[in-house]
């Protein structure tokens, strides 16, 4: 079985999809299953996987995503590799993609957050871009031999949101254990680098508006009278750049030096931030999975999330749940952890149990099993 895997996104600098691609390729490399896999890579991530064995070969596909070149050039690159089938781990499937292929649909935020994910581009350009992206996804859903989603919540929304019933959909939860064996940086180094001189809550993700990180800023600010030294650390790529700048400015204005924007950090640093956080907090109104929350649980950090989208399905009874869109509810959950050691201990223990169910090795083996059923 010869699989073509589009790994151009691989690398933490590309945010959630980049981290997904990097994790799953490494899990393929650790699998004992026999297969041949061609990885399509860009120059910037060509050396990202130095320890893969002879089952893997690399093909240069230095084609930017979301552009015309991707639509016109990439299909030819794929065809030249003569694979039995292809896996595209995102929705940006070329219109003339050779078949059979599998695509991963991580979420449906592009549809349900129309207009909220663009930055400062002219509205006409932004609308044209959104229309083009939706056209690509609709065609991909119709032509794909299989569609992979990370949660049942996402699977259930494909038809209502896009109006399309894919041929086949498989819910394959992603892993959360990639950082479990990473050696963390010494806390004193991280603390000194970013000036974190007190207890802090952590949020991880891009700066898109649906993340609603400003609500967490407001929640921490509202606790100034009872916990004046509580800090907020935000880690994640500065993407979209205009939103990231606006978010950092807002955090600085509201919290001053208690707000820390650390950007996209290496795994060693992220592990340290998870381990030393008082709590991980998300205010996102929509997610396809809950990877940062699960990673926090792996590191025995209590988690606070809203009761919305996939969070209850994926995280179960481990987190403290808040009212969606309500900063006061977030503040109350933080206070509950501050005042109740029993609540904190319960969240920690339940989180460890829940997170242990999500492993990248299981995700990779599930993918390989249905590659066999589809491509052989």
Q: Is the pLDDT of residue 245 over 70?
A: yes
pLDDT value for 17: 86
Q: Which CB contacts under 8 angstroms, 24+ apart, belong to 324-328? A: 324/285, 325/212, 325/215, 325/283, 325/285, 326/215, 327/215, 327/216, 327/218, 327/219, 327/222, 327/283, 328/219, 328/222
Confidence band (pLDDT; 50, 70, 90) for 141? confident
Whole-angstrom distance, CA of residue 54 vs CA of residue 230: 50
Residue 376: the pLDDT is 80
pLDDT reported for residue 5: 98
> pLDDT by residue (tens digit) across 252-283?
999 999 999 999 899 999 999 999 999 999 99
Averaged confidence pLDDT in the chain: 92
Report the SS3 class of residue 196.
coil
pLDDT for 168: 86
Q: Say yes or no to pLDDT of 15 above 80.
A: no
Rounded CA gap, 369 and 355, in Å? 23
Domains and their CATH numbers in the chain: 2-175+359-375 (3.40.50.2000), 187-355 (3.40.50.2000)
User: What is the helix (H) or strand (E) element at residue 146, kind and residue range?
Assistant: strand 146-149
Give me the mean pLDDT over the 336-353 stretch.
97
Give the alpha-carbon dihedral of 191, 195, 201, 203, to 10 degrees: -90
């Amino acid at each position: 079985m010869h699989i073509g895997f589009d790994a151009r996104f691989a690398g933490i600098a590309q945010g959630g999809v980049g981290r997904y691609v990097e994790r799953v390729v490494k899990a393929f490399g650790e699998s004992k299953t026999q297969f041949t896999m061609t990885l399509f890579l860009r120059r910037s991530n060509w050396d990202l996987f130095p320890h893969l064995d002879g089952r893997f070969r690399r093909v240069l596909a230095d084609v930017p995503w979301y552009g015309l070149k991707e639509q016109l050039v990439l299909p030819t690159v794929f065809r030249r590799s003569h694979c039995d089938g292809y896996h595209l781990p995102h929705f940006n499937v070329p219109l003339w993609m050779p078949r059979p292929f599998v695509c991963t649909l991580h979420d449906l935020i592009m549809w349900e957050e129309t207009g909220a994910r663009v930055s400062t581009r002219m509205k006409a350009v932004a609308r044209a871009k959104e229309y083009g992206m939706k056209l690509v996804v609709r065609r991909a859903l119709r032509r794909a031999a299989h569609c992979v989603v990370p949660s049942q919540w996402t699977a259930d929304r494909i038809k209502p949101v896009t109006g399309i019933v894919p041929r086949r959909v498989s819910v394959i939860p992603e892993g959360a254990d990639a950082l479990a064996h990473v050696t963390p940086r010494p806390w004193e180094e991280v603390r000194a680098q970013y000036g974190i001189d007190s207890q802090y809550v952590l949020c991880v993700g891009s700066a898109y508006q649906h993340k609603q990180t400003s609500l967490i800023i407001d929640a921490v600010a509202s606790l100034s009278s009872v916990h004046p030294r509580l800090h907020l650390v935000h880690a994640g790529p500065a993407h979209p750049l205009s939103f990231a700048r606006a978010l950092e400015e807002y955090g600085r204005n509201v919290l001053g030096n208690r707000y820390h924007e650390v950007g996209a950090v290496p795994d060693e640093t992220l592990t340290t931030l998870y381990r030393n956080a008082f709590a991980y907090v998300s205010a996102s109104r929509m997610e396809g999975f809950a990877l940062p929350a699960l990673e926090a649980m792996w590191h025995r950090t209590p988690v606070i999330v809203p009761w919305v989208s996939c969070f209850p399905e994926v995280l179960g009874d481990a987190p403290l749940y808040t009212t969606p869109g309500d900063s006061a509810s977030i503040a109350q959950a933080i206070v509950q952890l501050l005042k109740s050691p029993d609540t904190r201990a319960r969240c920690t223990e339940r989180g460890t149990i829940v997170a242990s169910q999500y492993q990248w090795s299981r995700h990779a083996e599930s993918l390989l099993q249905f590659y066999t059923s589809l491509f052989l």
